[in-house]
Structure 1
Amino acid sequence: MTYLILTCHTGGGHNAAAKAIKEEAAKRGITCVIQDALAFIPKPKEDFVTKGHSLAYKLIPQIYGAGYKYAENHVSGQGMLKDYSKYADKIAPYLKEHFFDAVICVHVFAAMVMTGVRRDLGIQIPTAFVATDYTCSPGVNTLDVDRWFIPRDMTTEFISRGVPAEKIIETGIPVSGRLYQSVSKQEAREKLDLPQDKAIVLLSCGTIGSGGLRTKAASIIKMLDPNTLMYVLTGNNRALLKSMSGKMAIDRVTALPFTSQMDLWMSAADMLLSKAGGLTSTEAVTRGLPVIFFDAVPGLESHNIEYLITRGCALSANNNEQLSNRTMKLLSSPTARRIMIDQQRRYFHENSVKRLVDCMQELKNATLE
């Protein structure tokens, strides 16, 4: 059996979800092919989508957020669907050539293309959409798919946006199964060659690596105990990595390039300071790592923060001073960290990616009956 997982390289979260699903499916003997849906559209359009997203997110986040909020409140999604589903004929030959048993879409653009494949071309492949943020994004209600895999406790919101209740399954956002495995702090630090006798804080902006991390790192570390070390996850931002290395390095702060070992880093750390991307947020709370969010971009990130804060799973900060103060306070209070971890385990104990793959197998089996 072979599944096609359609992602989009507009951010690392979608790719991380795709890899998590592929890892879990492989345990069942299911082959998964991960493909970037944007590879099937004209290059100028692809560049506009990817570069425009990245620039807006990094340089003009308030405009990005305002556009998102407008789409939430005023755009039906039909215009987006019409624009994106027209690329169905571009991906159809690929689907016919490889005879996939099912398609899993971890981005709404990919799901809209597959909606065109099913509605306009009549190619009926079992298809699912996976939500990777804690909200029902604009356009999700227009999809023609067999299943919507969504975060827990969010069925009411998705139904209110027009998603059919009978096709919704609350699997949770899929993260790597490694995050559910018990790895002690000591063991993780040994594997990463980190000191056992220091407090460790991670500072991250996700794979885009935006958000003025150098300024934040310098502001925070000077307020923390001398026995505290900070590791800055610079993502794919090579300029940021260079600006924090060598002669530009900050005392007790180490800049790291993109890593595929986030599960180990989260096991080794005492706290995470991060942007509120859906996958990074879910990875942290699944692992049981106290987290403080910062510089929320209105839209997806603000929804993610609201979801987690209302459940006692995280904190947030509005500026560098508040971030520094809250980091110092939380790091110095084992009780506060324990309460937050207990809440995380209360809401994120179920293996989301295992549940998702179980449901995909059930969907495929149902189509064979």
Structure 2
Amino acid sequence: MPVRVLILSADFGSGHQAAAKAIADACRSLSADCEAIVVPSQSALLGLFARAYLWQIKHIPGLYRRLYQLPVSRPLRTLVILVLSKPVRRSVEKERPDVIVGTHPFPAGAAVCLLRRARRQVPVVMALTDFAPHGFWVWPGVARYCCASPAAAADLVRRGADAARVIVTGLPVRPHLAELIRQSRREPSAGPGGPNRHLADQGSAPNSPRRVLLMGGGLGLGPIPEAVGALLALPQAALRLTVICGRNEALKEEITRRFGGDPRLTVLGFTDAVIEHMRAADLLVTKPGGITCAEALALGVPMLLLDPLPGHEEENARYLVETGAARVARGPALTAAASELLFARPDRLAAMAEAARQAGQPNAARMIAAEVLALAKRSCRAPGSVRITPPS
């Protein structure tokens, strides 16, 4: 009988959906009889929350930071359940899963509560998508928490998670990254870190290309035009800057209008080839989104982090800087940092690349999938349709 895995995501940026797809792919690769279904939970109120979140971080980031740091109260949890009870209940009734995975805490938390009220023994796994956990990830009855590091595991326990149910896996990045890394290590010309980890060997030779990838996630968020200007302020002709604007067409048009005359610049919109561009880069300049930065760590790509968004991105930036794989570079400091790493002191860039490789966990999605499949096989599916009643 096929093992059915329901993976619940939410539309708060592209990282949660990318993580869900990575876990689904890993489940299918580990078990030929696994049916992994990804469902982005949607409701009118959840869409309103998402728009309010984007408005807050743009216009009143200080207030959002304070709200993010508040303890998660019972009324807030109840609100999440009310907002998502119908779409989550529909997904569970339709898919009748053996196990549920959440790459966003809202739908997964609603699933935990609805299943408990219905007395259904379907395990729920929280697959965290940031390096530091928020209190909303912790719900009574979660079967497993999959997190980024021992520090994140300790934080989950401090917030109320059962220590026996917390495991360190890393953040779920695309499973094929591990094979790409193995291939690059078998290529004699690739060097220790990949196709373009060559600057330490070349020193500061002025004619060797320095490849920089600049991106702001799927929505093209952050001070991307300012970062383009700061990077193109470098005088060296050897600079090669690729900017990925995601689905932000206005951003793409603005960058092309303002900087399109510089032959060192390539501007792209949405692309499925992010990993290929990342592998080709000597340096990634980005906002510190969890999944993007986890992919960079896995590939051994050092990072300069733009102004972190309040809350989770600030915590991600703190973790990444502590690993030695990243620096935060704001405003004019971006020009100086890029000049140092790419041209003046490539040995420091090489040290950051090595730190990234040490912190990276390219097998994270497979580790999560193995745990999910083990839980699924122990889960007993009751005959008939799943009956879940909404909260009163």
Name the TM-score, length of structure 1 as normaliser: 0.89
Q: Is the 8 A contact 1:207 1:234 kept in 2?
A: yes
Q: Which runs of 5+ in 2 are unaligned?
A: 197-206, 382-392
Aligned counterparts, 1:268-279, within 5 A: 268-279=280-291
Aligned equivalent of 1:200: 211
Deviation string, structure 1 residues 196-237 (Cα, Å, up to 9, x no partner): 952210111111212231222012212252111111111211
Aligned equivalent of 2:166: 168
TM-fit CA distance, 1:90: 4.3
Using the alignment, how far apart are the partners of 2:140 and 2:9 within structure 1? Answer: 16
Task: Report the residue type matching 2:231 in the other structure.
Answer: I
Using the alignment, how far apart are the partners of 2:94 and 2:365 within structure 1? Answer: 28
Deviation string, structure 1 residues 95-140 (Cα, Å, up to 9, x no partner): 2232222111000111221122122232332211111111120222
RMSD: 2.3
Q: How many residues align?
A: 354
Secondary structure in 2 aligned to 1:315?
strand
Aligned counterparts, 1:204-243, within 5 A: 204-243=215-254
Q: Is the 8 A contact 2:223 2:307 kept in 1?
A: no
**Change in CA separation of 1:93 and 1:218 when aligned onto 2, cut-off 3 Å:** closer
Q: Is the 8 A contact 1:201 1:229 kept in 2?
A: yes
Q: Is the 8 A contact 1:206 1:235 kept in 2?
A: yes
TM-fit CA distance, 1:17: 0.3
Aligned equivalent of 2:5: 3
Using the alignment, how far apart are the partners of 2:88 and 2:361 within structure 1? Answer: 37
Using the alignment, how far apart are the partners of 1:9 and 1:174 within structure 2? Answer: 17
**Comparing 283-292 and 92-101, the one that deviates more:** 92-101
Indicate which of 76, 83, 87 corresponds to 1:80. 76
Using the alignment, how far apart are the partners of 1:351 and 1:121 within structure 2? Answer: 35
Secondary structure in 2 aligned to 1:292?
strand
TM-fit CA distance, 1:258: 1.6
Using the alignment, how far apart are the partners of 1:327 and 1:169 within structure 2? Answer: 36
Q: Is the 8 A contact 1:178 1:263 kept in 2?
A: no
Matched, 1:329 2:343: no
Q: Is the 8 A contact 1:11 1:207 kept in 2?
A: yes
**Change in CA separation of 1:188 and 1:239 when aligned onto 2, cut-off 3 Å:** farther
Matched, 1:20 2:31: no
Using the alignment, how far apart are the partners of 1:32 and 1:210 within structure 2? Answer: 30
Aligned equivalent of 1:137: 134
Using the alignment, how far apart are the partners of 1:15 and 1:188 within structure 2? Answer: 28
Higher relative contact order (CA 8 A, sep 6+): 2
Aligned equivalent of 1:264: 276
Secondary structure in 2 aligned to 1:232?
strand
Using the alignment, how far apart are the partners of 1:248 and 1:307 within structure 2? Answer: 33
Determine what percentage of the aligned residue pairs are the same residue: 24
Aligned equivalent of 1:66: 66
Secondary structure in 2 aligned to 1:32?
strand
Name the TM-score, length of structure 2 as normaliser: 0.84
Aligned equivalent of 1:193: none
Using the alignment, how far apart are the partners of 2:223 and 2:317 within structure 1? Answer: 20
